[in-house]
Chain A
């Protein structure tokens, strides 16, 4: 023990650090040994509360993480023992002995944290339940905070979490890292992480984007051989690195007009380093991350390597063809080979019925026609895009584009 009665700030800091390091390990190992999710979460919360009582009195322990682990385990054992006495059952000695065993890494079969992630993201749970459960149990966010991030009440979110935990228990969803369909199940986990990230941007809850990146870092550590996991971390780092340049005075700024000095270049560097490592599997996240990196590493919009970007879009269309990717490829062709080549590619992409009446097609057409010097035709296309635009903000940006064309 250190000198008694450390300052309140030191205690808070030590506890926050110890929880960040150990909370997930403790919860994951207690779920495995007790099979009781609520007990595992409560035991950790209880240990943290006890720390706030005993650390000011006895001093911060030498190893706060180990203290938290031991205290949470003791709490879990107490609760279980009491419940067993109440039910008139003899204590399940084997279970309790495992609980009191050495260290949280005592699990004989790999890392409990990975087991927990795969269970939270099991395909037999609804996607929204997977997201909520991952944020609650893996990230340790409060039910209220998750509810706010997803624009729903704490009560509704609490119900969603309760139903998810009940489904796991009642349907017999195993607490295990899958073996047979491992790659598909990893994809299922990454969908959850990326959804947390994009939801952070959709609702303006920036902390969710940070949380998604934290989750991806954890997964890269737990599955260092998973190329798509590493690629997703890089992709999110690259997108998140632009957070300070994306809006000016409440208006969204498109990539080409963003102030590149406001991008977080250390995060871009980290992502680029992740992408330089060799690939065994090149999936959609890897190609999307390379695309984002091609933009993020260009010194200016004019110096973007459009030939490479077109090639990456071609690769992405091979792996995961969608009409929006074909549309973006056409815009990139317009940059690499000139507006007329871009228009030809755009009309091919726009043949897809799923893009019928989509404002982005009209907006891209207006942009390419304008750059080809066909002002009147460009204006017609931009006006069409204004009519089709789904939000006020997009309409305003298109109005501005129309005004520029009229003045030119």
Chain B
């Protein structure tokens, strides 16, 4: 199954002690690229660089900034190919942002679902 790992920033992360259970991001990427579990992934620039696009009533609206203003924002993503949710959870649980932020794991919606 394919899963999207959404990496979410946490503004309070700086106040927390580091957690020895997580990998360094380079090591994490190398490990899961090597095993074939990580198919792709990117860090994203912060919300200030976002542009929001909407079509409403036949009109194209282009605005500066993110669609919603929240203190947490998506800082990156990884696409995983895993046997099941437990494997995806185990991989996400050693990503450094599981300690420094929040990771949301979501299954892809297959064409036949």
Q: Which residues of A contact B (CB under 8 A)?
A: 122, 124, 170-174, 176, 178, 180
Contact = CB atoms under 8 A, between A and B. Distances in A.
Nearest to A168: B85
A32 to B, nearest CB: 14
Interface in B74-113: 82-86, 88-90, 107, 113
25 contacts: A122-B85, A124-B85, A124-B89, A170-B107, A170-B113, A171-B85, A171-B107, A172-B3, A172-B82, A172-B83, A172-B84, A172-B85, A172-B88, A172-B107, A173-B84, A173-B85, A173-B86, A174-B83, A174-B84, A174-B85, A174-B86, A176-B84, A178-B86, A180-B86, A180-B90
Nearest to B89: A124
Contacts of A124: 85, 89
By CB atoms of chain B within 10 A, which of A122, A171, A172, A176 has the most?
A172
A172 B89 contact: no
A31 to B, nearest CB: 15
A174 B107 CA distance: 13
Contacts of B86: 173-174, 176, 178, 180
Contacts of B84: 172-174, 176
Nearest to A169: B113
B53 interface: no
A236 B97 CA distance: 40
Contacts of B50: none
- The dominant DSSP class at the B interface is mixed
Nearest to A174: B84
Contacts of A174: 83-86
A174 B1 CA distance: 11
A399 B98 CA distance: 52
A169 to B, nearest CB: 9
Nearest to A180: B90
Nearest to A173: B85
A170 B88 CA distance: 13
A308 to B, nearest CB: 38
Nearest to B82: A172
Contacts of B113: 170
B82 to A, nearest CB: 7
Contacts of B88: 172
Contacts of B82: 172
A331 B86 CA distance: 44
A101 B3 CA distance: 34
Contacts of A171: 85, 107
Interface in B1-60: 1, 3
Given A122-B85, A124-B85, 20 more contacts: A124-B89, A170-B107, A170-B113, A171-B85, A172-B1, A172-B82, A172-B84, A172-B85, A172-B88, A172-B107, A173-B84, A173-B85, A173-B86, A174-B83, A174-B84, A174-B85, A174-B86, A176-B84, A180-B86, A180-B90
Nearest to B3: A172
Contacts of B107: 170-172
A122 B83 CA distance: 16
A164 to B, nearest CB: 14
B110 to A, nearest CB: 9
Contacts of A170: 107, 113
Contacts of A173: 84-86
Q: What are the nearest 4 A-B pairs in CB distance?
A: A174-B84, A172-B84, A172-B1, A172-B85
Contacts of B1: 172
